Amino acid sequence: MQQDKGLTNLPEPSLLHRVMVMITIPAVVVALYLVFIWSPVERQMGVVQKIFYFHVGSAWNAFLAFGVVAVFSILFLITRKRIYDMIAGVSAEIGVVFTAIVLTTGPIWGRSAWNVWWNWEPRLTTTVILFFIYIAYITVRSLDMEWQKKGRLSAVLGVIGAINVPIVYMSVRWWESTLHPVVMGEGVEESGGGMEPSMLFTFIFTVLTMTLVYTVLMQKGIYIEKLRIHVAKLKAKQQEKMIS
Amino acid sequence: MIQSNNIIKTIGEKMILRGMNLEIASGETVAIIGPNGAGKSTWLKITAGLLKPTEGSLLIDEEPLKKDKYELQQIIGYLGHQSFLYEHFSPVENLRFFAKLYHVKKPDKRIDDLIEEVGLTFFKYEPVRSFSRGMIQRLAIARAILHDPKILLLDEPHTGLDQQAVDILNKVILRLKKKGVTVVLVTHDFPQVIKTCDRVIILKNGRVKDDIPLEGQDVNWLYTHYERQAIHS
Amino acid sequence: MKNLLLPALVIAGKDLYSEWKTRQIVTTMLIFSSLIIVTFSFAFDPSNQSVRVLIPGMIWIITIFAAILGLNRSFTTEQSNDHIHAFVVAPIDASSVFLGKFIANFIFVLIVQIIAIPLLFLLFDFRVLTIESIFYLVGIIFLGTFGFVSVGTFLAALSSNSKSSEMLLPILLLPLATPVVIAAVQATRIVLIDLEKLSSAMSWMQLMIAYDLIFFVAGLLLFEYVLEV
């Protein structure tokens, strides 16, 4: 019985995952060094500017994670393969963490750049909505149903949510420009354009490192999911034995 | 008429059907029996098009049952555990709604006849809410055969019915049988199996355990045979 | 056609007829929206003229909450006797269930708005309406409600799979409806308060049309996945 053999062998983390962990740990250390020690302190904002590296890196990963959710939701609806459902689910969980980072670092940045904790700037507002869509998605995933049904419903929500994000961005942008005709602080973009080379390098390096962290977390999450399924299967098998 | 090729169905982590192979010819009346959790209802739901098989295929009239197979859905009548009836509507209103969904021509005459056949003429305009279990089930069977299906799938139709309701139900089944309708009956009620069916299939652990013609057999034989097949082996 | 539009009308007709008999959903929605209006008048002094600027927001808050109330019922009533299964088995397109439910919900919400919005204007003594602004207001309400109800119907079907669907629906619906809510409130504000900026209201209406189309079509296409058992 092929199935029985599959049950006795625990799933193992892949070689790729081990290599990735080996790369990611030093990369994170280097990134921290570059951000806090190597890169110069910005003249106007001082040390607070350093949060920008993490802020943008997390924002990029949050949107990437949601993109992954959307793509794998569509794949799941077409093929109904469980692995796609797992990838989408894990990606959403990681995405919500990155979104939370964006939403905490954003106000800190805003306080020192624009002297307010929060403003309804399009990118920030879109991130808030994204955060809520993620929460809705995870709520659906935590419903008590068999995985086939749960996967189907959450995949549908993933697709709808992904369609919605650009529309939200557009409408918030529009709304913001009618409410506050003076578009305040093109802060993030400005520093993105006219950055000093060392800052730019640090910035790119941090974003790449955070993407690496995302990938490692993804692999870890999928591995945990696999173990979970393995346990459920063993349990189901044991129950069957007890009954008959 | 119905052809089930190696159907496997997994729900959650549980494998409910493990390779269901079954062929039912046109005009047969077949009972499917078996212990709880053997996959009887699941197989019937797949046949009705309510569930999709994980693997394998289900052919009706040599055609796979997929979504948008409206012609196939049109010839299947399905009665599940629930009646599908709206509680605040009267029998006539309920049947009229389903008649429209199934594009029944001249619905009013047909609805009148059916309501009479299941003995609910007197309650025609009462809301279903006030009905007893037996009356609801009688109306539900009228709903299932409203569109003159060629295949009738019944999931435990006799459960919780009194003698009168059982008789009405059997009469309907036998009338359809004479008309050449294929009837598949999932049930635990052996006397009714003997009364109505000409073939019985015993299911166990998601597979067909036994497949026997019923001609000339009585209830006691069926009980002993079932015990041998489904419980002891 | 035979398997999409006709069954949709049959299902919508069934819902409307059922509502005509029981008068449950629309009555509850109406009472609820009147209560919101009364609560508004406690929260914001109606005699104060500056409260006028809040009227557009109030219109849409009433719509959103009353609609959620009705949407919740829309599919839970189909759950009690597994009517959804009857729809899957019947020779109809899955999208027709969406279409039928959408039509019924849309009509319910419109009925509530026809009564609740004039009531709001009355109680808050809002009298600066012209024929032109009423004309545009009707258009905006139609577009905004269309978008909100189409996403709402879809998500109501999705959340009805859960046992606590009344709690799940608002969580799913409000973030996804953000664009249409923003657009509807902005367009209403312009039409009611400064009609000179009409061109801006027009572009908001275009955004609503785009949103309505996208989510209506997405709902039609994806509904079969929601309906599967």
Question: Are the beta carbons of C18 and B93 closer than 8 angstroms?
Answer: no
Give the DSSP per-residue string, C99-149.
Answer: HHHHHHHHHHHHHHHHHHHHHHHHHTT-----HHHHHHHHHHHHHHHHHHH
Number of structural domains chain B divides into: 2
Residues of C with Cβ-Cβ distance to A172 under 8 angstroms: 178, 182
Statement: residue A22 has pLDDT above 50: yes
pLDDT score of A192: 46
Minimum distance, in Å, between the CA of residue A228 and any CA atom of chain B: 11
pLDDT digits (tens, 9 = 90+) for A65-101: 999 999 999 999 999 899 999 999 999 999 999 999 9
Nearest to C133 by CA among C192, C85, C90, C84: C192
Per-residue pLDDT, averaged over A23-49, amounts to: 85
Q: Which domain holds residue B208?
A: 1-75+149-233
Q: What share of chain C is helix, strand, coil (3-state, %, to 5)?
A: 85, 0, 15
Q: Is B100 on the interface with C (CB under 8 A)?
A: yes
Residue A216 lies in a domain: yes
Residues of C with Cβ-Cβ distance to A145 under 8 angstroms: 161-162
Which is higher by pLDDT, C154 or A46?
C154
pLDDT score of A186: 44
Q: Does this complex have an ipTM over 0.95?
A: no
Q: How far apart (Å, rounded) are the C-alpha atoms in residues A225 and A219?
A: 10
Residue A48 lies in a domain: no
Residue A169 lies in a domain: yes
Residue A26 lies in a domain: no
Nearest to A129 by CA among A85, A165, A174, A80: A165
Number of structural domains chain A divides into: 1
Choosing from B123, B148, B173, the residue where a domain stops is: B148
pLDDT digits (tens, 9 = 90+) for C99-113: 999 999 999 999 999
For residues B164 and B206, state if they share a domain. yes
pLDDT digits (tens, 9 = 90+) for C51-60: 888 999 999 9
Q: Which portions of chain B are predicted below pLDDT 50? A: none
Residue A162 lies in a domain: yes
CATH number at residue B25: 3.40.50.300
**CA count, 13 A, side-chain hemisphere, C137:** 22
Statement: residue C134 has pLDDT above 50: yes
Residues of A with Cβ-Cβ distance to C172 under 8 angstroms: 136, 139-140, 157
Minimum distance, in Å, between the CA of residue B10 and any CA atom of chain A: 9
- For residue C208, the chain A residue with the least C-alpha distance is A171
Residue A6 lies in a domain: no
- What is the percent of chain C with per-residue pLDDT over 90, rounded to a whole number? 67
* Cα distances (angstroms) measured from residue B115 to each of B85, B131, B143: 14, 14, 10
Helices and strands per DSSP (H, E), number in chain A: 8, 0
Q: How far apart (Å, rounded) are the C-alpha atoms in residues B65 and B62?
A: 9
For residues B218 and B123, state if they share a domain. no
Q: Does the beta-carbon distance from A229 to B11 stay under 8 Å?
A: no
pLDDT score of A244: 67
Binned at pLDDT 50, 70 and 90, residue A189 comes out as very low
Question: Are the beta carbons of A168 and A126 closer than 8 angstroms?
Answer: yes
A194-208, C63-77, C123-137: range with highest mean pLDDT: C63-77
Statement: residue A29 has pLDDT above 70: yes
pLDDT score of A178: 64
Binned at pLDDT 50, 70 and 90, residue C79 comes out as confident
pLDDT score of A4: 52
For residues B233 and B154, state if they share a domain. yes
Statement: residue C186 has pLDDT above 70: yes
pLDDT score of C1: 67
Per-residue pLDDT, averaged over A212-232, amounts to: 92
Q: How many CB atoms lie within 10 A of CB B198?
A: 14
How many beta-carbon pairs below 8 A join chains A and C? Answer: 82
- For residue A237, the chain B residue with the least C-alpha distance is B14
Choosing from B148, B177, B204, the residue where a domain stops is: B148
Q: Which domain holds residue A121?
A: 66-183+198-230
Statement: residue A179 has pLDDT above 80: no
Residue type, C137: L
Rounded to the nearest integer, the mean pLDDT of chain B is: 88
Chain A residues 74-93 within an 8 A CB cutoff of chain C: 77
pLDDT score of A156: 95
For residues B165 and B201, state if they share a domain. yes
For residues B144 and B155, state if they share a domain. no
pLDDT score of C174: 95
Q: What share of chain A is helix, strand, coil (3-state, %, to 5)?
A: 85, 0, 15
Least confident window among A64-73, A220-229, B156-165, C138-147: B156-165
For residues B128 and B226, state if they share a domain. no
Q: Which chains touch A (3 or more CB pairs under 8 A)?
A: B, C
Statement: residue A181 has pLDDT above 50: no
Which is higher by pLDDT, C49 or A210?
A210
Rounded to the nearest integer, the mean pLDDT of chain C is: 91
For residues B158 and B196, state if they share a domain. yes
Residues of C with Cβ-Cβ distance to B100 under 8 angstroms: 6-7, 10
- For residue A154, the chain C residue with the least C-alpha distance is C158
Choosing from B106, B130, B148, the residue where a domain stops is: B148
Residues of C with CB under 8 A from a CB of A: 151, 154, 158-159, 161-163, 168, 171-172, 174-176, 178-179, 182-183, 186, 200, 203-204, 207, 210-211, 214-215, 218, 222, 225-226, 228
For residues B45 and B155, state if they share a domain. yes
For residues B24 and B50, state if they share a domain. yes
Angle at alpha carbon of residue B33, lines to B30 and B34, rounded to 5°:
155
Statement: residue C45 has pLDDT above 80: yes
Global confidence as pTM? 0.91
pLDDT score of B62: 82
pLDDT digits (tens, 9 = 90+) for B169-200: 899 999 999 999 999 999 888 888 888 888 99
Binned at pLDDT 50, 70 and 90, residue A205 comes out as very high
Angle at alpha carbon of residue C227, lines to C226 and C229, rounded to 5°:
105
